[in-house]
Amino acid sequence: MSSPAAPSVLFVCVHNAGRSQMAAAFLTRLAGDGVQVRSAGSAPADSVNPAVVEAMKESGIDISAETPELLTADAVQASDVVITMGCGDACPYFPGKRYLDWTLDDPAGQGVGAVRPIRDEIERRVRDLLAELGVEVTQ
């Protein structure tokens, strides 16, 4: 008997340089191969926010090599769950997808001290999402 395919989750924010990068990194760390993870932005930045990189390093996750990606209809269509973070209107809608909007402060222009509570809230929500999806936390 084959196991069901891992669910696919897409995190979307405007610049794909902060919130969506943190969420994707936490989901990858906590779920391992149990979830397919994507992240993208409606207007991607050139690089990930340095304060976000530093805050994630404090949690033991290095995202310094990540690159913001442009949101595409294909990425949305290939995902089971689409989680927007401040750019819901820019995300294409496809019937049958589960859409969630996480209202979170934007770390753009913030120092690491302001990013920490955003990071912690994202980790909490990612853990809740894994529980909802029935995916076992590997970390």
**Catalytic residue set:** 13, 87, 91
Contacts for 103 with CB less than 8 Å, ≥ 6 apart: 85, 86
Give CA separation, 136 vs 49, 64, 95, in Å.
30, 26, 27
Site of tokens 């993208």: 40
Contacts for 134 with CB less than 8 Å, ≥ 6 apart: none
Which DSSP symbol is given to 11? E
Q: How far apart, in whole angstroms, are the C-alpha atoms of residue 67 and residue 139?
A: 24
